[in-house]
Amino acid sequence: MRKTAFSVGRRCLVEVNAADLQLLLHMSMRYAMGRRTYMPGMIQDLIKQHQGVFTNENLRQLADEITSQARIPGGLGADIDEKGWLEFRDWLLATADSGVIFPVPVPKAPDQENNKG
């Protein structure tokens, strides 16, 4: 199973397989919609950073969920949050329509010889 390193900044926090990372990011996006904090921007950036774990159809699904949430008054948070979500939705659709998704690099197993003390 393909794995990807999920990182924040320069530190690798945990290694997860691509399917699990996709699920975590998808659920995080759902959680972040409507929040009036830094979380929406952070999740949007993480999805862009790790777009290779999503298929074009997955990206369209994320965009559809944003569209559905936008129909609820205040469903995407404050006006500034709504603007960010709608721009992100446009990015998701443009990326899915382009057919070009940048793959997530698969981390290499550590060299056992270099890890001997």
The secondary element (H helix, E strand) that includes residue 7 is strand 3-8
Q: What is the pTM of this model?
A: 0.74
* pLDDT tens column, 70-105: 999 999 999 899 999 999 999 999 999 887 766 555
* pLDDT tens column, 88-97: 999 999 999 8
Sorted by where each begins, the domain ranges of the chain are 3-98
Of the candidates 44, 18, 17, which has an alpha carbon nearest to the alpha carbon of residue 29? 44
Q: Please, what is the Cα angle at 83 between 79 and 89, to 5 degrees?
A: 140
* pLDDT tens column, 45-61: 999 999 989 999 999 99
